[in-house]
Amino acid sequence: MIPSVRLTFLGLLFLACTPSNTEKESNTAAQARAVTFVYAPTLDRPHRETMRRTEEFSIPGSQLRNVEQWALDWDVVVRQETNLFRRSLKLVGLKLDLNGAPALRGDEVKASAVTLDVLTDKDSNVVDVRGSEQFSAAIVALGSPESQPVLSRIFSPDRLKALAIERSVELHSDFVGRPAQPGSTWMANDASGGSTRQIRVLAEAPCAASRCVQVRREYDVDRSALFADVAQRVGAYVKAQGGDPSRVAVTGMDLKLEDTLVLAPATMEYYAAEFVQDMQIHVTGPNGELPVKLKIRRQTEYRY
């Protein structure tokens, strides 16, 4: 976007000293586009994305502490397919630790060459996701018999497809067409109305592109779904300890959900992303209140 604006400007200098009204309007439109987020991914340029995710669910003072740590390396390229963008993600590394025990070491996945294709239209809307069934089968087959049930849950075809859609929407829908100048602030809502997000453009940020900005996004989510997930986990723990899960209830929650992102407004290509979810849940049972903690941290590095 920026080089095309510069070339247009130079051309006007050579053609005339005083631009016409039409040329002035053209310049104004180009400048407006340059200061908003535009979905224009670079085609046929491979790059590497590394995503690291840690999830810890614990009850302080008890034996319950479940930790999942995984790292995924993707080779990514965007190509044109008819009037759509096809973003192909080839998994080239996958490490998974469950409570400190390695379920996958990282290099097993290389021979499988599994790929997910996410197709989007010109406005970044997801049109299709391809390859989730083959992807799921290949990942599950890599694990030991003991780890395969967990891998089947984490990497089921439906969950993979839903995650691919969720991640694409997460990266684009709140930003396309919005102002990219530092200081800009706006609100965004889910179609269902269950979540509200405040987005702020904090500052210009260094990156390999001609211009990047740092953005912070804070979430106010529908807590009932989170309550249900936490109640299920706590109930399973109480049952395993010989207690009655029906006598345990989630009664409150302190929650922090936010993203910190670095991206190029002219293309919507990312250079850094971090998501933090920190929850302190208040659970009440026959013996009083039980504190429960859930922490999720997800970081993605981009190397072009």
Q: Are 203 and 214 in contact (CB under 8 A)?
A: yes
Mean pLDDT computed over 271-281: 93
Residues 302 and 304: their CA atoms lie apart, in Å, by: 6
pLDDT category, 111, cuts 50, 70, 90?
low
Looking at residue 106, what is its pLDDT? 64
Structure tokens at 138: 């290949």
Structure tokens at 229: 């997930």
Alpha helices in 107-156 (DSSP H): 132-142, 148-154
For 120-140, write each residue's pLDDT tens digit. 999 999 999 999 999 899 888
| DSSP H/E element including 79 | strand 65-81
Residue 304 has pLDDT above 50, yes or no: yes
Three-state DSSP class for 181?
Answer: coil
Helical axes 157-172 vs 132-142, angle rounded to 10°? 120
Residues 270 and 301: their CA atoms lie apart, in Å, by: 9
Q: Are 185 and 199 in contact (CB under 8 A)?
A: yes
Give the number of other Cβ atoms within 10 Å of residue 206's Cβ: 9
Three-state DSSP class for 91?
Answer: strand
Most confident of 162-166, 237-241, 245-249: 162-166
Lowest mean pLDDT among 42-56, 158-172, 186-200: 186-200
Task: Tell me which of 3 and 109 has the higher pLDDT.
Answer: 109
Task: Tell me which of 16 and 62 has the higher pLDDT.
Answer: 62
Of 173, 164, 254, the closest CA to residue 217 belongs to 173
Class of domain 35-303 as given by CATH: mainly beta
Structure tokens at 56: 């810890």
For 126-175, write each residue's pLDDT tens digit. 999 999 999 899 888 877 888 788 888 888 999 999 999 999 999 999 99
Strands 126-130 and 101-106: unpaired
Looking at residue 130, what is its pLDDT? 97
Q: The whole model's pTM is what? A: 0.79
| Mean of per-residue pLDDT scores for the chain | 83
Q: Are 277 and 256 in contact (CB under 8 A)?
A: yes
Residues in the chain: 304
How do the domains of the chain map onto residue ranges? 1-34, 35-303
Mean pLDDT computed over 196-209: 96
pLDDT category, 5, cuts 50, 70, 90?
very low
Helical axes 21-34 vs 2-15, angle rounded to 10°? 160
Looking at residue 202, what is its pLDDT? 98
Mean pLDDT computed over 270-299: 89
